[in-house]
Amino acid sequence: MPMAAPPADLTGLSLTEIARLAAEQRLPPVESWNPTHCGDSEMRIARDGTWYHQGSPIGRLPMVKLFSTILRREPDGSYVLVTPVEKLDIAVEDAPFVAVELKSEGEGPARCLAFRLNTGHLIVAGPEHPLRFEEKPDGPHPYLLVRKGLEALVARPVYYELANIALDEGAMPPGLWSGGQFFPIA
């Protein structure tokens, strides 16, 4: 039975509703599929989360959402699109997803942070979906684990929201709580 699509933004949902929707997201068992490698998909995911095929952006979000469900990270760090019968390489410039919206409820250790990805998927940060912050030459890059080696780059405006939350709470070292876990901001 197909699930209802999450709303366009998180403002009208409680964290309980977001957590329920996130748990209902069913994905194909790509980790158990081991087909023969078939070549290159001629696809790439840009740093801003835009998916391209043969140099042209894929403009249909339902198509991007479908491809995102069969994306897998290999042990060597490469990315592939995998089905039960074929495996194709896909280039990923930074992270395959982008966290584009944040909803925060609670304070301190009772806080929960929910994110909407550019694909519409919902993720609640916590032990199974940790946040990490990596310092790069162009500044901090926050990431959220989506699933088995696949991360979402947290969009700059969302990162600023996270930084404001961390500053307001005044934890030392600065960081964020979500799902009972503390995530230090490097």
pLDDT tens digits along 105-150: 999 999 999 999 999 889 999 999 999 999 999 888 999 999 999 9
In a domain, 14, yes or no: no
What pLDDT shows up at residue 172? 87
Who contacts 93 (Cβ-Cβ below 8 Å, separation ≥6)? 44, 45, 46, 47
pLDDT tens digits along 143-170: 999 999 999 999 999 999 999 999 998 8
In a domain, 11, yes or no: no
Nearest to 79 by CA among 32, 123, 45: 45
Q: Please indicate, yes or no, whether residues 106 and 171 belong to a single structural domain of this protein.
A: yes
pTM beyond 0.75: the answer is: yes
The answer to whether 33 and 149 are in contact (CB under 8 A) is no
Beta-bridge partner residues of 182? 177
Mean pLDDT score across all residues of the chain: 89
pLDDT at residue 41 tops 70: yes
Q: What is the CATH number of the domain that holds 51?
A: 3.10.540.10
Q: What is the CATH number of the domain that holds 148?
A: 2.30.270.10
